[in-house]
Structure 1
Amino acid sequence: MAKATDAAGHGDWEVCRECAALVYRPRLLRSRRVCPECGHHQRLTAGERIATIADPGSFTPAPQVGGGDPLGFADSRPYPERLAEARGRTGLQDAMLYGGATVGGRRAVVAAMDFAFLGGSMGSAVGETVTRSCEAALRERVPLILAIASGGARMQEGAVSLMQMAKTAQAMRALRDSGLLSVCVLTDPTFGGVTASFATQGDVLVAERGARIGFAGPRVIAAATREELPPGFQTAEYLKSRGLLDRVEPRNDLRPLLARLLAVTSVGEAGEVAAWERPPEEPQEALGGSQEEPTPYETLRLARDTRRPTALDYIWQICTDFVELHGDRLEGDDPAIVGGPALLDGRPVMIIAHQKGHGTDELVARNFGLAHPEGYRKALRLMRLAGRLGLPVVTLVDTQGAAPGIRAEDRGQSWAIAECLAGMSELPVPVVSVLIGEGGSGGALALAVANQVLMLRHAVYSVISPESCSTILFGDPSHGPRMADALRITAQDLLRLGIVDGVVPEPPGGAHTDPAAAAGHLRAAVRQALRELAGLSGDELRKHRYERFRVLGMIADD
Structure 2
Amino acid sequence: MGEVAGVRELIGTVCEDFEEFESPRGAERTSAADGPLAWPGYDDQRRRAAERTGAEESVLCGHGRIGADRAVFIAFEFGFLGGSVGEEAGARVVAAFEQARERRLPVVSLVASGGSRMQEGIRALVQLQAIARACLLTRQARIPHITVLRNPTTGGMWASLAAGADVVLAAPEAAVAFGGSRVRSASETGEPFTAEGKLADGQVDRLVPDAELPAVLAQLVGLLHPQRLVRPPEPAEVPAPLREPDQVRPGADSGWDAVRRARAADRPHAADYLDRYFTSRFELSGDRAGGPDSGMLCGIGEHDGRPVAYAAQAGTANTPAGFRTAARLVRLADQLGLPVLTLVDTPGAANDAEAERAGAGAAIGQLFTAVAEARVPITTLVIGEGGSGGALALAAPESTWITADAYFAVIAPESSAAILKQPPEQVPELAHRLRLRPRDLLELGFVQGVVPPG
Aligned to 1:246: 205
Q: Relative contact order (alpha carbons < 8 A, sep ≥ 6): 1 or 2 greater?
A: 2
The 3 A distance-change label for structure 1 pair 188 and 143 is same
Separation in 2 of the partners of 1:161 and 1:217? Answer: 17
Aligned to 1:497: 444
Deviation at 1:73, TM superposition (A): 2.1
Aligned to 2:64: 101
Matched, 1:310 2:269: yes
Aligned to 1:454: 401
Tell me, yes or no, if the aligned pair for 2:233 and 2:338 is still in contact at 8 Å: no
Deviation at 1:235, TM superposition (A): 0.7
The 3 A distance-change label for structure 1 pair 478 and 52 is farther
Separation in 1 of the partners of 2:413 and 2:290? Answer: 34
Which region of structure 1 is more displaced relative to structure 2, 302-311 or 436-445? Answer: 302-311
Aligned to 2:222: 263
Aligned to 2:104: 141
- Superposition pairs for residues 79-478 of structure 1, below 5 Å? 79-223=42-186, 228-229=187-188, 231-266=190-225, 269=228, 292-293=249-250, 294-356=253-315, 369-478=316-425
Separation in 2 of the partners of 1:148 and 1:270? Answer: 27
CA deviation profile, 1:493-536 (whole Å, cap 9, x unmatched): 01011011111124xxxxxxxxxxxxxx4xxxxxxxxxxxxxxx
Deviation at 1:290, TM superposition (A): 9.5
Tell me, yes or no, if the aligned pair for 2:229 and 2:337 is still in contact at 8 Å: no
| Counterpart residue identity of residue 379, structure 2 | V
Separation in 1 of the partners of 2:227 and 2:39? Answer: 52
Tell me, yes or no, if the aligned pair for 1:61 and 1:98 is still in contact at 8 Å: yes
Which region of structure 1 is more displaced relative to structure 2, 259-268 or 192-201? Answer: 259-268
Tell me, yes or no, if the aligned pair for 1:288 and 1:503 is still in contact at 8 Å: no
Which blocks of at least 5 consecutive residues in structure 1 are unaligned? 1-39, 357-368, 507-520, 522-558
The 3 A distance-change label for structure 1 pair 291 and 67 is farther
| Counterpart residue identity of residue 415, structure 2 | S
Deviation at 1:267, TM superposition (A): 5.3
| Counterpart residue identity of residue 206, structure 2 | R
Separation in 2 of the partners of 1:432 and 1:490? Answer: 20
Aligned to 1:532: none
Q: Does the residue aligned with 1:229 lie in a helix, a strand or coil? A: coil
| Counterpart residue identity of residue 50, structure 1 | I
CA deviation profile, 1:271-329 (whole Å, cap 9, x unmatched): 99999999xxxx9xxx9999745322112111011211111111011111110011111
Separation in 2 of the partners of 1:471 and 1:451? Answer: 31
Separation in 2 of the partners of 1:160 and 1:474? Answer: 67
| Counterpart residue identity of residue 136, structure 1 | Q
Deviation at 1:473, TM superposition (A): 1.9
Separation in 1 of the partners of 2:405 and 2:36? Answer: 71
Separation in 1 of the partners of 2:419 and 2:289? Answer: 36
Return the TM-score normalized by structure 2. Answer: 0.92
Q: Does the residue aligned with 1:233 lie in a helix, a strand or coil? A: helix
Aligned to 1:4: none
Q: Does the residue aligned with 2:287 lie in a helix, a strand or coil? A: coil
Q: Does the residue aligned with 1:58 lie in a helix, a strand or coil? A: strand
Separation in 1 of the partners of 2:155 and 2:10? Answer: 21
| Counterpart residue identity of residue 177, structure 1 | Q
Separation in 1 of the partners of 2:172 and 2:378? Answer: 35
Aligned to 2:29: 67
The 3 A distance-change label for structure 1 pair 229 and 111 is same
Tell me, yes or no, if the aligned pair for 2:236 and 2:308 is still in contact at 8 Å: no
Q: Does the residue aligned with 1:101 lie in a helix, a strand or coil? A: strand
- Superposition pairs for residues 22-61 of structure 1, below 5 Å? 40=1, 42-54=3-15, 57-61=16-20
Deviation at 1:107, TM superposition (A): 1.3
The 3 A distance-change label for structure 1 pair 451 and 129 is farther
4+ residue stretches of structure 1 with deviation over 6 A? 270-278, 287-291
Tell me, yes or no, if the aligned pair for 1:41 and 1:210 is still in contact at 8 Å: no
CA deviation profile, 1:169-190 (whole Å, cap 9, x unmatched): 0001100111111011110011
The 3 A distance-change label for structure 1 pair 488 and 265 is same
Tell me, yes or no, if the aligned pair for 1:372 and 1:413 is still in contact at 8 Å: yes
Deviation at 1:265, TM superposition (A): 2.3
C-alpha RMSD over aligned residues: 2.4
The 3 A distance-change label for structure 1 pair 193 and 272 is closer
Separation in 1 of the partners of 2:370 and 2:265? Answer: 31
| Counterpart residue identity of residue 488, structure 1 | R
Aligned to 1:485: 432
CA deviation profile, 1:119-155 (whole Å, cap 9, x unmatched): 1100011111110110010000110001011111001
Separation in 2 of the partners of 1:470 and 1:99? Answer: 64
Tell me, yes or no, if the aligned pair for 1:460 and 1:489 is still in contact at 8 Å: yes
CA deviation profile, 1:59-84 (whole Å, cap 9, x unmatched): 11112465335424233x2x112112
Tell me, yes or no, if the aligned pair for 2:235 and 2:339 is still in contact at 8 Å: no
The 3 A distance-change label for structure 1 pair 429 and 321 is same
| Counterpart residue identity of residue 29, structure 2 | G
Separation in 2 of the partners of 1:175 and 1:352? Answer: 25
Separation in 2 of the partners of 1:103 and 1:161? Answer: 32
Structure number with greater Rg is 1
The 3 A distance-change label for structure 1 pair 154 and 135 is same
Tell me, yes or no, if the aligned pair for 1:41 and 1:209 is still in contact at 8 Å: no
The 3 A distance-change label for structure 1 pair 115 and 277 is closer
Return the TM-score normalized by structure 1. Answer: 0.75
Tell me, yes or no, if the aligned pair for 1:241 and 1:332 is still in contact at 8 Å: yes
| Counterpart residue identity of residue 62, structure 1 | F
Q: Does the residue aligned with 1:222 lie in a helix, a strand or coil? A: coil
Which blocks of at least 5 consecutive residues in structure 2 are unaligned? none
| Counterpart residue identity of residue 384, structure 2 | G
The 3 A distance-change label for structure 1 pair 132 and 352 is same
Tell me, yes or no, if the aligned pair for 2:142 and 2:226 is still in contact at 8 Å: no
Separation in 2 of the partners of 1:404 and 1:230? Answer: 33
Aligned to 1:526: none
| Counterpart residue identity of residue 44, structure 1 | A
Separation in 2 of the partners of 1:271 and 1:167? Answer: 31
Aligned to 1:34: none
Tell me, yes or no, if the aligned pair for 1:275 and 1:346 is still in contact at 8 Å: no
